Structure 1
Amino acid sequence: MDAVDDHLSVLYRGPLSSCDYDCPYCPFAKRRDTPELLRADRAALERFTAWAAAYRHGRLSVLFTPWGEGLVRSWYRRAMVELSRLPHLERVAIQTNGSCRTGWLAEADRAKLALWVTYHPGQVSEQRFLAKCAELTALGVRFSVGVVGLPEQAAAARRLRAALPPEVYLWVNAADGHVYDDAEAAGWAELDPLFGYSRHPHRSAGLPCRTGESVVSVDGEGTVRRCHFVRPPLGNLYDDSYREQLRPRACPLGSCDCHIGYVHLESLPLYDVFAGGVLERIPHGW
């Protein structure tokens, strides 16, 4: 077994970009994919799942980061279940708005499956969202909950934190383009003690990052990149050409402002902070 990919984390993003929500801050709000694109997305995901099942180079973890909402599609639910049952898979997680039904989760290995759930006030009632969280808790599903740190969502976020069980971690994403003064940032940090990591972009140019070594990004065609934000390809997943490119390397970008990117920076302590929960964004011991 090669030391470089003893444990490989894959961030998968297929062509799906449709969503059932209409958030004003999201470019994919209420977007509809054509039947042709949905068929292509399904075929791509099934191909990826088959690759994961046949993976024999060590331990594997997968985070689905669709532009749209994946779990309202049967093939994403099925992929989550199938991947969770693989003996060499450590974790399968997905970013979701939590709008889908939850009964399918009973079929999964819930010791390996996790959800990264975003609450969008205005798209779902607080009561309905909390009821969904209660269903996940009753099913024994590991999940985190988060909000976008917009001023107009602060009151809803405070109510949510008060209503959620204390063992559920509530994260806050800094809103794109919003500048937080110290008082506002302190307010968000009362809800998420790790908000400081999201408040400002992190300088990354020339700094070591685990992406491209033990973490990669994959699209529906199987093109492998070091992460979603660095575009030059490393090879293809399905011909194994990417494997010879896995090695330590520095970040070529000036800064990184997205959690799924900067969490892998070796200059930050986040692998210790989120030990055991990097992909699903759950701090160690929470």
Structure 2
Amino acid sequence: MKLTVLYRGPLSSCNYGCEYCPFGKWKHTDEELAKDRADLERFIAWVEARTQDTVSVFFTPWGEALIWPWYQQALARLTHLPHVERVAAQTNLSCRLDWVKDCRAEKLGIWATYHPEWTKRPRFLKQCETLVSLGVRHSVGVVGFLRFVEEAQTLRRELPAETYLWINAVKDGQEEPYTPEDVARFTQLDPLFPVNNVRHPSLGKACRGGESVISVDGEGTARRCHFIDEAIGNIYAPDFDQALRPRPCSKATCGCHIGYVHMDYLELDRVFGSGILERVPAEPLWRRGAVAAR
């Protein structure tokens, strides 16, 4: 089978301190970091053993993982497994990138978020240039606060034309709702912004979550996705594969890209193709702005 795993271990801290995000305000003890490392090692061993499958892994930590060497080593290790198709990670791209040379670059994907309050644009762009030079497919994004519009516009001008820039729509916590003019400005930067700027109806609709896409925590507990708390099993149980089956969504709406991108009726797998984990649309769809708000 083809299986995509969104791994989120107990790590829940960040080296940035964005005011809208709680994780930069948490610090782990040495014992907690050791637990995170041990959980990750156990998960990697599980992936290594699933040689009968084609596996992709997407690291979606509560915080920043790639500043820690065990995550860097995990990405490198996974990319060299013949049965692993794709390995991707969400990151603020603040880490050193020398470890990337240990990876099979053609299997590695990076979802990088630019935080203008916590890093300088030239440094972030330099990191992106390094990824390009190493042959790593990546996307770059900005949280869609109105105060970041001009910074996002400048970033778009300075990024290579072929680098997809996404805007994460702020659906809660915005001081004022987006005006039509705000939506137009963000859509000029990201043709897929209208797709992200809505909560998609999902109740009872078909989704690959729970069948070919699962969310896994540090204990091995598997869920359909990050947004449905109900467990479907534990990956370390010998009969776990029996838990993988189609399940209609039990939530009224789905408003996060890493959730709704797997919903069948939106057909976003056709938009993103093999870049679905690192949020890189298949060309030339995003350049033409071919996807309308649904």
Pairwise same-fold verdict (TM > 0.5) = yes
Displacement after TM superposition at 1:106 (Å): 0.6
1:274 counterpart letter in structure 2: F
Q: Distance in 2 between matches of 1:30 and 1:166?
A: 35
Q: Distance in 1 between matches of 2:103 and 2:283?
A: 23
1:193 aligns with 2:191: yes
1:102 equivalent in structure 2: 97
Displacement after TM superposition at 1:31 (Å): 2.1
| TM, length-normalised to structure 2 | 0.94
Larger mean Cα displacement after TM superposition, 54-63 or 116-125: 54-63
1:129 aligns with 2:124: yes
2:22 equivalent in structure 1: 27
Aligned 8 A contact 2:139 2:280 in 1: yes
1:71 counterpart letter in structure 2: L
Displacement after TM superposition at 1:56 (Å): 2.7
Q: Distance in 1 between matches of 2:207 and 2:52?
A: 21
Q: Distance in 1 between matches of 2:182 and 2:106?
A: 37
1:13 equivalent in structure 2: 8
Structure 1 pair 242/182, CA: closer, same or farther in 2 (3 Å)? Answer: farther
1:229 to 227, 230, 242: 227
SS of the counterpart of 1:230?
coil
2:34 counterpart letter in structure 1: R
Q: Distance in 2 between matches of 1:241 and 1:39?
A: 28
1:66 equivalent in structure 2: 61
Q: Distance in 1 between matches of 2:74 and 2:171?
A: 31
Aligned 8 A contact 1:224 1:242 in 2: no
| TM, length-normalised to structure 1 | 0.96
2:270 to 266, 272, 282: 272
1:260 to 258, 261, 266: 258
1:14-93 correspondence runs (5 A): 14-93=9-88
SS of the counterpart of 2:117?
coil
CA shift digits 1:185-225 (9 cap, x unpaired):
11100000000111111110011001011000000000011
Misfit runs of 4+, over 3 Å: none
Q: Distance in 2 between matches of 1:281 and 1:185?
A: 20
Displacement after TM superposition at 1:231 (Å): 1.1
Q: Distance in 2 between matches of 1:124 and 1:225?
A: 34
Indicate the percent of aligned positions where both proteins have the same amino acid.
Answer: 51
2:223 counterpart letter in structure 1: R
Give the RMSD, CA atoms, in angstroms: 1.0
Aligned 8 A contact 2:171 2:197 in 1: no
